[in-house]
Protein backbone atom coordinates (compact mmCIF):
# COMPACT_ATOMS: atom_id res chain seq x y z
CA UNK A 1 0.00 0.00 0.00
CA UNK A 2 1.31 3.44 -0.90
CA UNK A 3 1.98 6.09 1.71
CA UNK A 4 -0.87 8.23 0.28
CA UNK A 5 -3.29 5.33 0.60
CA UNK A 6 -2.20 4.69 4.20
CA UNK A 7 -2.75 8.37 5.05
CA UNK A 8 -6.19 8.30 3.43
CA UNK A 9 -7.12 5.15 5.33
CA UNK A 10 -5.95 6.70 8.60
CA UNK A 11 -7.97 9.84 7.95
CA UNK A 12 -11.06 7.78 7.18
CA UNK A 13 -10.69 5.71 10.36
CA UNK A 14 -10.40 8.89 12.43
CA UNK A 15 -13.55 10.27 10.84
CA UNK A 16 -15.44 7.04 11.54
CA UNK A 17 -14.28 7.02 15.16
CA UNK A 18 -15.50 10.58 15.50
CA UNK A 19 -18.76 9.57 13.86
CA UNK A 20 -19.28 6.88 16.47
CA UNK A 21 -18.69 9.41 19.24
CA UNK A 22 -21.10 11.86 17.60
CA UNK A 23 -23.67 9.04 17.52
CA UNK A 24 -23.23 8.43 21.24
CA UNK A 25 -23.42 12.11 22.12
CA UNK A 26 -26.54 12.75 20.04
CA UNK A 27 -28.28 9.63 21.30
CA UNK A 28 -27.54 10.42 24.96
CA UNK A 29 -28.86 13.97 24.59
CA UNK A 30 -31.85 12.68 22.67
CA UNK A 31 -32.78 10.29 25.46
CA UNK A 32 -32.72 13.13 27.97
CA UNK A 33 -34.87 15.29 25.73
CA UNK A 34 -37.47 12.70 24.79
CA UNK A 35 -38.05 12.02 28.50
CA UNK A 36 -38.98 15.70 28.90
CA UNK A 37 -40.89 16.17 25.64
CA UNK A 38 -44.57 16.90 26.16
CA UNK A 39 -44.13 17.86 29.81
CA UNK A 40 -44.22 21.39 31.27
CA UNK A 41 -40.98 23.23 30.57
CA UNK A 42 -38.78 24.68 33.29
CA UNK A 43 -36.61 27.81 33.32
CA UNK A 44 -37.62 29.11 29.92
CA UNK A 45 -35.58 32.24 29.13
CA UNK A 46 -35.13 34.54 26.14
CA UNK A 47 -31.91 34.98 24.21
CA UNK A 48 -31.54 37.21 21.15
CA UNK A 49 -35.19 38.35 21.10
CA UNK A 50 -38.52 37.80 22.82
CA UNK A 51 -39.23 34.86 20.49
CA UNK A 52 -35.80 33.18 20.78
CA UNK A 53 -36.23 30.76 23.68
CA UNK A 54 -33.99 28.47 25.70
CA UNK A 55 -35.05 26.04 28.42
CA UNK A 56 -33.58 23.67 30.96
CA UNK A 57 -33.99 20.93 28.34
CA UNK A 58 -31.49 22.71 26.04
CA UNK A 59 -29.04 23.20 28.89
CA UNK A 60 -29.27 19.65 30.21
CA UNK A 61 -28.78 18.16 26.74
CA UNK A 62 -25.75 20.36 26.03
CA UNK A 63 -24.23 19.58 29.43
CA UNK A 64 -24.49 15.85 28.72
CA UNK A 65 -22.78 16.23 25.36
CA UNK A 66 -20.08 18.50 26.76
CA UNK A 67 -19.34 16.04 29.57
CA UNK A 68 -18.98 13.16 27.14
CA UNK A 69 -16.67 15.15 24.87
CA UNK A 70 -14.58 16.28 27.83
CA UNK A 71 -14.15 12.64 28.80
CA UNK A 72 -13.44 11.28 25.31
CA UNK A 73 -11.76 14.23 23.55
CA UNK A 74 -10.41 16.53 26.29
CA UNK A 75 -8.01 18.34 23.97
CA UNK A 76 -10.55 19.12 21.21
CA UNK A 77 -12.37 22.42 20.99
CA UNK A 78 -16.11 22.73 21.63
CA UNK A 79 -18.67 25.23 20.39
CA UNK A 80 -22.19 24.75 21.74
CA UNK A 81 -25.29 26.87 21.20
CA UNK A 82 -26.04 27.22 24.89
CA UNK A 83 -22.59 28.37 25.94
CA UNK A 84 -20.31 25.32 25.98
CA UNK A 85 -16.90 26.63 24.94
CA UNK A 86 -13.43 25.10 24.90
CA UNK A 87 -10.56 26.41 22.74
CA UNK A 88 -8.85 23.04 22.22
CA UNK A 89 -5.30 22.35 21.13
CA UNK A 90 -5.74 19.73 18.39
CA UNK A 91 -7.16 21.87 15.57
CA UNK A 92 -10.43 19.98 15.89
CA UNK A 93 -13.70 21.44 17.16
CA UNK A 94 -17.04 19.88 18.09
CA UNK A 95 -20.01 21.99 17.03
CA UNK A 96 -23.17 21.18 18.96
CA UNK A 97 -26.82 22.16 18.82
CA UNK A 98 -28.29 20.24 21.76
CA UNK A 99 -31.88 21.03 20.80
CA UNK A 100 -32.52 22.36 17.30
CA UNK A 101 -36.16 23.41 17.23
CA UNK A 102 -36.61 24.63 20.79
CA UNK A 103 -39.87 26.41 19.98
CA UNK A 104 -41.31 23.23 18.49
CA UNK A 105 -40.14 21.26 21.53
CA UNK A 106 -41.75 23.68 23.98
CA UNK A 107 -45.04 23.68 22.03
CA UNK A 108 -45.13 19.90 21.78
CA UNK A 109 -44.53 19.88 18.02
CA UNK A 110 -42.58 16.71 17.08
CA UNK A 111 -40.04 18.42 14.81
CA UNK A 112 -36.77 18.90 16.67
CA UNK A 113 -33.37 17.25 16.75
CA UNK A 114 -29.91 17.02 18.27
CA UNK A 115 -27.02 18.00 15.99
CA UNK A 116 -23.41 17.04 16.70
CA UNK A 117 -20.51 17.61 14.29
CA UNK A 118 -16.73 17.74 14.41
CA UNK A 119 -14.61 20.07 12.28
CA UNK A 120 -10.94 19.92 11.35
CA UNK A 121 -8.72 21.95 9.06
CA UNK A 122 -10.61 20.71 6.01
CA UNK A 123 -14.11 21.49 7.26
CA UNK A 124 -16.72 19.20 8.80
CA UNK A 125 -15.28 15.70 9.21
CA UNK A 126 -18.28 13.88 10.70
CA UNK A 127 -21.78 14.72 11.82
CA UNK A 128 -24.99 13.30 13.23
CA UNK A 129 -28.53 14.64 13.32
CA UNK A 130 -30.64 12.65 15.75
CA UNK A 131 -34.47 12.77 15.67
CA UNK A 132 -35.55 11.03 18.90
CA UNK A 133 -39.28 11.33 18.19
CA UNK A 134 -39.04 9.23 15.03
CA UNK A 135 -36.03 7.21 16.23
CA UNK A 136 -34.08 8.36 13.17
CA UNK A 137 -30.35 9.00 13.07
CA UNK A 138 -28.85 10.74 10.04
CA UNK A 139 -25.08 10.41 9.91
CA UNK A 140 -22.17 11.21 7.62
CA UNK A 141 -18.39 11.03 7.62
CA UNK A 142 -16.40 12.92 5.03
CA UNK A 143 -15.82 10.68 2.04
CA UNK A 144 -17.86 7.81 3.47
CA UNK A 145 -21.39 8.78 2.38
CA UNK A 146 -24.52 9.53 4.38
CA UNK A 147 -26.88 7.13 6.14
CA UNK A 148 -30.25 7.00 7.87
CA UNK A 149 -30.31 4.40 10.65
CA UNK A 150 -27.31 2.77 9.02
CA UNK A 151 -28.74 2.58 5.51
CA UNK A 152 -27.28 4.69 2.68
CA UNK A 153 -29.28 7.74 1.60
CA UNK A 154 -29.13 10.03 -1.40
CA UNK A 155 -30.90 13.07 -2.75
CA UNK A 156 -33.98 12.59 -4.91
CA UNK A 157 -33.72 12.82 -8.66
CA UNK A 158 -33.81 16.58 -9.21
CA UNK A 159 -37.16 17.83 -10.53
CA UNK A 160 -37.71 20.95 -12.56
CA UNK A 161 -37.60 24.04 -10.36
CA UNK A 162 -41.36 24.49 -10.74
CA UNK A 163 -41.87 21.08 -9.11
CA UNK A 164 -39.26 21.43 -6.38
CA UNK A 165 -40.26 21.27 -2.71
CA UNK A 166 -38.08 23.80 -0.88
CA UNK A 167 -37.52 24.18 2.87
CA UNK A 168 -36.63 27.41 4.63
CA UNK A 169 -36.75 29.09 8.02
CA UNK A 170 -37.09 32.55 9.51
CA UNK A 171 -34.95 34.61 11.82
CA UNK A 172 -35.87 35.73 15.33
CA UNK A 173 -34.87 39.27 14.34
CA UNK A 174 -37.79 41.41 13.18
CA UNK A 175 -35.89 43.24 10.44
CA UNK A 176 -34.38 40.05 9.05
CA UNK A 177 -37.81 38.42 9.03
CA UNK A 178 -39.19 41.25 6.94
CA UNK A 179 -36.44 40.75 4.36
CA UNK A 180 -37.03 36.99 4.41
CA UNK A 181 -40.69 37.62 3.68
CA UNK A 182 -39.71 39.52 0.55
CA UNK A 183 -37.43 36.67 -0.53
CA UNK A 184 -40.26 34.21 0.05
CA UNK A 185 -42.48 36.26 -2.25
CA UNK A 186 -39.96 35.83 -5.06
CA UNK A 187 -39.34 32.12 -4.47
CA UNK A 188 -42.82 30.76 -3.81
CA UNK A 189 -44.39 31.39 -7.24
CA UNK A 190 -41.58 29.51 -9.01
CA UNK A 191 -41.46 26.29 -6.95
CA UNK A 192 -43.90 23.52 -6.06
CA UNK A 193 -44.22 24.70 -2.46
CA UNK A 194 -42.35 25.86 0.64
CA UNK A 195 -41.96 23.97 3.89
CA UNK A 196 -41.08 25.77 7.13
CA UNK A 197 -40.75 23.08 9.80
CA UNK A 198 -38.61 24.90 12.35
CA UNK A 199 -35.40 22.86 12.65
CA UNK A 200 -32.64 23.59 10.14
CA UNK A 201 -30.63 20.46 10.92
CA UNK A 202 -33.66 18.29 10.11
CA UNK A 203 -34.38 20.29 6.95
CA UNK A 204 -30.89 19.46 5.69
CA UNK A 205 -31.11 15.85 6.86
CA UNK A 206 -34.43 15.44 5.07
CA UNK A 207 -32.95 16.96 1.93
CA UNK A 208 -30.13 14.41 2.12
CA UNK A 209 -32.68 11.62 2.54
CA UNK A 210 -34.77 12.66 -0.47
CA UNK A 211 -37.71 14.14 1.46
CA UNK A 212 -37.08 17.65 0.12
CA UNK A 213 -35.59 19.07 -3.06
CA UNK A 214 -33.84 22.15 -1.72
CA UNK A 215 -33.20 24.39 1.26
CA UNK A 216 -32.22 27.96 1.97
CA UNK A 217 -32.06 30.15 5.06
CA UNK A 218 -30.27 33.20 6.44
CA UNK A 219 -29.22 34.22 9.90
CA UNK A 220 -28.40 30.91 11.58
CA UNK A 221 -25.23 29.92 13.43
CA UNK A 222 -22.56 27.26 12.76
CA UNK A 223 -24.22 24.73 15.08
CA UNK A 224 -27.45 24.88 13.04
CA UNK A 225 -25.75 23.83 9.82
CA UNK A 226 -22.56 21.92 10.66
CA UNK A 227 -23.82 18.33 10.60
CA UNK A 228 -26.58 18.95 8.08
CA UNK A 229 -24.39 20.44 5.39
CA UNK A 230 -22.08 17.41 5.52
CA UNK A 231 -25.11 15.11 5.21
CA UNK A 232 -26.19 16.92 2.06
CA UNK A 233 -22.72 16.82 0.51
CA UNK A 234 -22.22 13.14 1.28
CA UNK A 235 -25.68 12.33 -0.11
CA UNK A 236 -24.76 13.84 -3.48
CA UNK A 237 -25.90 17.43 -3.01
CA UNK A 238 -24.18 20.78 -3.06
CA UNK A 239 -24.11 23.60 -0.55
CA UNK A 240 -23.56 27.30 -1.30
CA UNK A 241 -22.91 30.20 1.04
CA UNK A 242 -25.28 33.16 0.65
CA UNK A 243 -23.41 36.46 0.90
CA UNK A 244 -24.87 39.50 2.57
CA UNK A 245 -25.99 40.36 6.06
CA UNK A 246 -26.95 38.08 7.62
CA UNK A 247 -25.13 35.37 5.73
CA UNK A 248 -26.99 32.26 4.73
CA UNK A 249 -26.90 28.83 3.19
CA UNK A 250 -28.58 27.17 0.24
CA UNK A 251 -28.49 23.47 -0.66
CA UNK A 252 -29.89 21.25 -3.39
CA UNK A 253 -28.76 18.83 -6.07
CA UNK A 254 -25.97 20.10 -8.36
CA UNK A 255 -28.55 20.49 -11.14
CA UNK A 256 -31.10 22.41 -9.07
CA UNK A 257 -28.90 24.59 -6.87
CA UNK A 258 -27.95 27.18 -9.55
CA UNK A 259 -31.64 27.72 -10.33
CA UNK A 260 -32.49 28.14 -6.66
CA UNK A 261 -29.64 30.61 -6.21
CA UNK A 262 -31.01 32.73 -9.04
CA UNK A 263 -34.24 33.17 -7.10
CA UNK A 264 -32.32 34.16 -3.95
CA UNK A 265 -30.11 36.86 -5.48
Residues 130 and 53 in one domain: yes
Residue 8 has pLDDT above 50, yes or no: no
Residue 125 has pLDDT above 90, yes or no: yes
Structural domain contains residue 149: no
> Please, where are the H alpha helices in 127-239?
174-187, 200-208, 222-234
pLDDT given for residue 214 in this prediction: 98
Beta-strand ranges (E) seen in the chain are: 45-46, 53-54, 77-80, 85-86, 93-100, 113-120, 123-131, 136-141, 146-148, 151-152, 165-167, 193-195, 214-218, 238-242, 248-252
Structural domain contains residue 36: yes
* pLDDT tens readout for residues 196-205: 999 999 999 9
Q: Final residue of a domain: which of 115, 143, 171?
A: 143
CATH code of 105's domain? 3.30.540.10
* Domain membership of residue 99 as a residue range: 3-143
Residues 173 and 216 in one domain: yes
Residue 91 has pLDDT above 60, yes or no: yes
Q: How many domains does the chain have?
A: 2
pLDDT given for residue 3 in this prediction: 31
Residues 110 and 169 in one domain: no
Q: Final residue of a domain: which of 143, 178, 212?
A: 143
Residues 172 and 133 in one domain: no
Residues 66 and 181 in one domain: no
Q: Final residue of a domain: which of 84, 110, 143?
A: 143
Structural domain contains residue 253: yes
**Please, how many CA atoms are within 13 Å of residue 77, restricted to the half-sphere of its CB?**
13
Query: pTM (2 decimals)?
Result: 0.90
Residues 19 and 105 in one domain: yes
Q: Cβ distance 132 to 33 under 8 Å?
A: yes
Edge-to-edge strands of the sheet including 165-167?
193-195, 165-167, 214-218, 248-252, 238-242
Amino acid sequence: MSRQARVADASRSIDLADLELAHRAAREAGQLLIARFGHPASRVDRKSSSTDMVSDADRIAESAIASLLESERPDDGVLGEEGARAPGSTGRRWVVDPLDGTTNFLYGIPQWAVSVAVEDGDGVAAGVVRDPVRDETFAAARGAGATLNGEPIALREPPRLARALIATGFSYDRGTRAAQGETLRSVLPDVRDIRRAGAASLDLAWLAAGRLDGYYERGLKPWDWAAGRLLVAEAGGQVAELDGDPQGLAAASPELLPQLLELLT
